[in-house]
Chain A
Amino acid sequence: MRRSYKWIAFAVCFALILLLGVEVVPLADRAIVVGLAIDGDEEGFTVAAQILVPSDDDSKSSGYIISEARSETLSGALTKISEQSNLIVAMSHCNLVILGKGVIDGNAYGALDYLVRNAYLSENALLLASEGSAADILSSKTAYSETSSFYIQRALMEFGYYNDRTVRTVKDFLVSHFSYNSGNWLPIVTRREAQSEQNPGDSGGGTESPSGSGERQYVFDFSRTAVFRDGSYVFTLDERGTAGLAYVNSRIEEGSLTVKDEVTGDVYNYFIVTSRANKKFDPDAMSAETKVKMELILKEVLSASVAYGPEDVEPDDGNVARIKESVESDIEAAFEECRAYGVDIFDLYGGFYGKGGAEWRDNDSKNYLARTRFVVDVEITFH
């Protein structure tokens, strides 16, 4: 082959680029969305986008604005945000989506259609539910960070392995939606005004920002969980139920567990090193067993009667039994509450069907959730 061909190829490439032109959208012309709040009702969606505003001044950190628009569709609302801001909405840095009460009460899965089709939004973006307005959560000024979406992301990524919360991404939600029972869940984010330094006991008052702007500051809580079936919200699991759900459906790497000896009044706190659950199914007996293996460290003892030394790392059998009982009751609470609402939160159908195959599906699956004997077994070891 002649070497001249190489140069001809480059020349053709260069000419084509010149002829066709290259679309370049400078960074300054983009609305970099870092968080999205979706509220809705029967008539459409109200979308609030948290958009980064770069600072020209090196000494100042970048700020953000919340831009809000309403439309019949999600993409329509985002287009309006583009029009309002005269910027092209860029979703590739959006790693947080909050669904408002109006959206989860309707068809939460349907509201995600645009986000699923939009390849720019990562399928690993965190997905949360809100009990009220999602825009209120997103526009809240946090006590620890200026940008609520980054604060929430950190809480769910760095502390997402705790036993008091569950972490869900857009992908997780879709995978559960397409499970046999369509049982699904999302962490609920609620905000609480941060305590004032001047009035620490005043739980009703918020803290003004240090700059004295009068803006209230908030911290967020994720200890409750919205449960869904067929893409729509059904009910809310409380703190215990959320912990129970996390023990079975999450890989817990950290967390805290407190038990109390009712006789002596002693209180023991344990650090959870790891917790893993393993499910076993017997479709003939309609029995599902969840075995939770947990590794703990004794962290704190509040006792008036027993003196514990630093070398005491394994509590007595009574305490171990109390830990087991606590974890088992959390899991059972989550399961029974979901069962009462007809939600198969631990995907028992998938387990029975996986073991029993088509025969179980065709002959024994009717009313399976009510007929299932759910057994929890907790195995504790100490680090």
Chain B
Amino acid sequence: MKNNILTARQYGILAFLLAFVFKFSLLPGRMSATAGRDMWLAITVAVLIEAGMLAATVRISALGGIEGVRERYGNAVYLLIAFPLVAVFVVKSAIYMSEVNTFTTSYLFYNISADRVAVILTVCVIFLAARAAKGIGRVAEIALWLVPVVVLIGAVFGKMKLEPSYVLPVAADGIAPIAEAFDKNLFWFFDYTPLLFFRLKTNEEEGERRGKKRTSAFGRFAPVIGGALGAVIVIPALYAVFVMTYGMSGHLVGNAFSSLGSFNVVNTEIGSIDWPAIVLWLCFGVIVLAVTAFAAGRAAESVKAPLPIAVTVFTAVSLLLTEFLFYNSERTVRFAEGAVRYITTAVAVAATAITLALLEIASAKRASHVSAEAADEKIL
């Protein structure tokens, strides 16, 4: 079933969101606690490594996604790679869902327990995930328009109180705190793996469909490159802004995005201008959870499970984990900073590397087969 095809623009936006969203909730506070003012350097290292991962992921998606492995090597090989990934998705979804729930109950509503919020958000996640690539991609395109709204509101009504000297000196204590921050918070990195389950319809294919010719690599992947560049530039830049705003008190910040989104405005002046930022982050959070749920559901489709049922089961399991294990941010952080971070990272990196290798080998074989056939035809 071809319900996993994204346009290059949608793919670029989702790549950006997967890298961006959960780096602006609990993570800045955690990074600040370990790396202090050098947290922006730690995140720069992380997003650059992630960009390398994204390049591999894009290549895989362009070769037909992880399902290319099933087509060329059979279901068993595919499931060997996909199932560890699904397990990682369950854990990541549970942790990220916990962050969304805590954020929602802390910043949006009074005295509403997290379980009620979680159930309602879960239905949104399931609904969006069941709409598959087309629905998720379209919602992401629309939600992105909230970004200029937030920026515009900040520019018009906000007050910039940045202290550039807070980022200095750079790496005064060497790379040890930066490396420690990277290591301790590994769980929040390498989040591109759900994209392995999508196929990338490049601008070239789109152009051909419309009767246009566009052959350069840049032209084919321009929106994806834009999404990757956006993540590499925007995330460290916002972390630097975070340091310039909070100095060494960043560890006290619960949700960085809504804190930065308040733009230093006292509520009595014009009301809470952090609202657009809160809504934006929540939309993005639901989209990322839906992408992950869809990826897990897509894997389950290979064993004949209908997508809606699969994403419902996946999200319900994540929800139960959230409700019973990660019902507050302290438990969430303690778990995410434990040994599980190495497992999730190892699975993400290994699955991407193995999938890429298998698809490249198959692609090379097919190319040599085609050229051999062409040579045979010439001889005949």
- Asked whether B116 lies within 8 Å of A22 as measured between CB atoms, the reply is yes
Smallest CB-CB separation from B127: which chain A residue?
Answer: A9
| A119 and B116 contacting across the interface, CB-CB below 8 Å | no
Apart from A25-B110, A125-B267, A357-B172, what are 16 other A-B pairs with CB-CB below 8 Å? A1-B131, A9-B130, A13-B120, A20-B115, A23-B111, A88-B111, A95-B267, A119-B107, A122-B262, A122-B267, A171-B249, A175-B245, A350-B165, A354-B169, A356-B169, A358-B173
Residue in contact with A358 in the complex, picked from B115, B166, B169, CB distance below 8 Å? B169
CB of A296 within 8 A of chain B? Answer: no
Q: Is A23 within 8 A of B112, CB to CB?
A: yes
Indicate if the CB atoms of A1 and B130 lie closer than 8 Å. Answer: yes
Q: Can you list 24 A-B contacts with CB-CB less than 8 angstroms, sorted by A residue number?
A: A1-B131, A1-B132, A5-B130, A16-B120, A22-B116, A92-B110, A92-B267, A95-B266, A95-B268, A119-B255, A123-B259, A123-B262, A124-B264, A153-B266, A169-B264, A175-B245, A175-B247, A175-B249, A177-B249, A178-B247, A179-B248, A350-B165, A354-B165, A355-B168
Q: In the complex the two chains form, what is the Cα distance from A30 to B109 in whole Å?
A: 13
Q: Are A350 and B123 in contact (CB under 8 A)?
A: no
Q: Would you give the 0/1 interface string for B105-142, flagging 1 where the beta carbon is closer than 8 Å to chain A?
A: 01100111101100110010011001110000000000
Q: Which residue of B lies closest to A362 (CB)?
A: B172
Interface string of B300-325 (1 = CB under 8 A from A): 00000001100000000000000000
Residue from the list A1, A5, A123, A157 in contact with B269, Cβ < 8 A: A157
| Assembled-state Cα–Cα distance A157/B166 (Å) | 25
A13 to B116, CA, bound (A): 11
Interface string of B243-276 (1 = CB under 8 A from A): 0011111001011000100101111110010000
Using CB atoms and an 8 Å cutoff, list the residues of chain B in contact with chain A: 3, 106-107, 110-113, 115-116, 119-120, 123, 126-127, 130-132, 165-166, 168-169, 172-173, 245-249, 252, 254-255, 259, 262, 264-269, 272, 307-308
C-alpha spacing A279/B165, complex, angstroms:
10
Closest A residue to B258 by CB, please name it.
A119
Residue on A nearest B107 in the bound complex, by CB? A119
CA distance A92 to B278 in the complex (A): 15
Q: Tell me, yes or no, whether A17 is within 8 Å of chain B by CB.
A: yes
Enumerate A73-90 residues with CB–CB distance to B below 8 Å: 88, 90
Which residue on B lies nearest to A93, using beta carbons?
B267
CA distance A25 to B112 in the complex (A): 10
Q: Measured between alpha carbons, how far is A178 from B33 in the docked complex, in Å?
A: 12
Inter-subunit contact A23/B123 (CB<8 Å): no
Interface status of A126 (Cβ within 8 A of chain B): yes
Contact of B123 among A16, A119, A279, A353 (CB under 8 A): A16
Whole-angstrom distance from the CB of A98 to the nearest CB of chain B?
15
Judge if A174 is at the interface, Cβ distance under 8 Å: yes
Would you call B248 and A178 a contact (CB within 8 A)? Answer: yes
Query: Are B112 and A126 in touch, CB under 8 angstroms?
Result: no
Residue contact A361 to B308, C-beta cutoff 8 Å: no
Q: CB distance A124 to B266 under 8 Å?
A: yes
What is the bound-complex CA distance between A7 and B98, given in angstroms?
27
CA A12 – CA B173 in complex, angstroms? 54
Please classify the interface of chain B as helix (H, G, I), strand (E, B), loop, or mixed, using the class held by over half of its residues.
Answer: helix
Residues of A within 8 A of B246 (CB): 171, 175
Contact of A116 with B by CB under 8 A: yes
A120 within 8 Å of B by Cβ? yes
**Given A23-B113, A123-B259: A153 and B165 within 8 A (CB)?**
no
| Chain B residues positioned under 8 Å from A206 (CB to CB) | none
**8 closest Cβ pairs, A-B complex:** A354-B168, A119-B106, A178-B249, A357-B169, A178-B248, A13-B123, A358-B172, A174-B249
A351 within 8 A of partner (CB):
yes
A116→B308 CA distance, assembly (Å): 42
Chain A nearest CB, measured from B297 CB (Å): 11
CB-CB contacts below 8 Å: A115-147 with B: 116, 119-120, 122-126
**A150 CB-CB contact with B under 8 Å:** yes
- B173 / chain A contacts, CB cutoff of 8 Å: 358
A122 to chain B, nearest CB (A): 5
Complex CA gap A134/B48 in Å reads: 51
**Counting chain B CB atoms within 10 Å of each CB, which of A6, A351, A354 scores highest?**
A354
Tell me which residues from 296 to 322 in chain A have a Cβ below 8 Å from any Cβ of chain B: none
Which residue of chain B lies nearest to A34 when distances are taken between CB atoms in the complex?
B268
Give chain A residues whose Cβ lies under 8 Å from the Cβ of B169.
Answer: 353-358
Which of B3, B113, B247, B259 is the most central at the interface, judged by chain A CB atoms within 10 Å of its CB?
B247
Chain B neighbourhood of A1, CB < 8 A:
3, 130-132, 307-308
Bound state CA distance, A30 and B131, in angstroms?
40
Asked if B254 and A119 sit within 8 Å, CB to CB, the answer is yes
Contact A12 B123 (CB under 8 A): yes
Residues on B with beta carbons closer than 8 Å to the beta carbon of A23: 111-113, 116
- Name the residue on B nearest A20 (C-beta): B116
Q: Across the two chains, which residue of chain A brings its CB closest to B251? A: A178
CB closest chain-B residue, reference A8? B308
**Interface residue from B166, B262, B308 paired with A5 (Cβ < 8 Å):** B308
In the complex, which of the residues A6, A126, A357, A358 contacts B266, with contact meaning CB atoms closer than 8 Å?
A: A126
Interchain CB contact (< 8 A) of A16 among B119, B172, B247, B266: B119
Known: A6-B127, A23-B116, A351-B165. A122 touches B111 (CB 8 A): no
Complex: how many Å from CA A289 to CA B255? 37
The CA of A157 and the CA of B259, in the complex, are separated in Å by 19
Taken together as a complex, chains A and B put the C-alpha atoms of A25 and B111 apart, in Å, by: 9
A120: B residues at CB distance < 8 A: 106, 110
- Residues from chain A with a CB closer than 8 A to the CB of B112 are 23
Complex interface: chain B residues within 8 A of A92 (CB): 110, 267, 272
Cβ-closest chain A residue relative to B115: A20
A157 touches B130 (CB 8 A): no
B residues in contact with A174, CB < 8 Å: 249, 252
**A122 engages B249 (CB within 8 Å):** no
B176 to chain A, nearest CB (A): 12
Q: B106 touching A150 by the CB < 8 A rule?
A: no
Residues of the A chain whose Cβ atoms lie less than 8 Å from the Cβ of B165: 279, 347, 350-351, 354
Q: Across the interface, do B265 and A124 meet the contact criterion of CB distance under 8 Å?
A: yes
A1 to B132, CA, bound (A): 9
What residues of A have a CB within 8 angstroms of the CB of B113 in the complex? 23
Specify which chain B residues have a CB less than 8 angstroms from the CB of A351 in the assembled complex.
165
Chain B residues with CB below 8 A from A279, complex form = 165
| B270 → A minimal CB distance (Å) | 10
Query: Which chain B residues border A12 with CB–CB below 8 Å?
Result: 123
Known: A157-B268, A157-B269. A124 touches B172 (CB 8 A): no
In the bound complex, do residue A122 and residue B107 qualify as a contact, i.e. CB atoms below 8 Å apart? no
Contact of B172 among A13, A126, A361 (CB under 8 A): A361
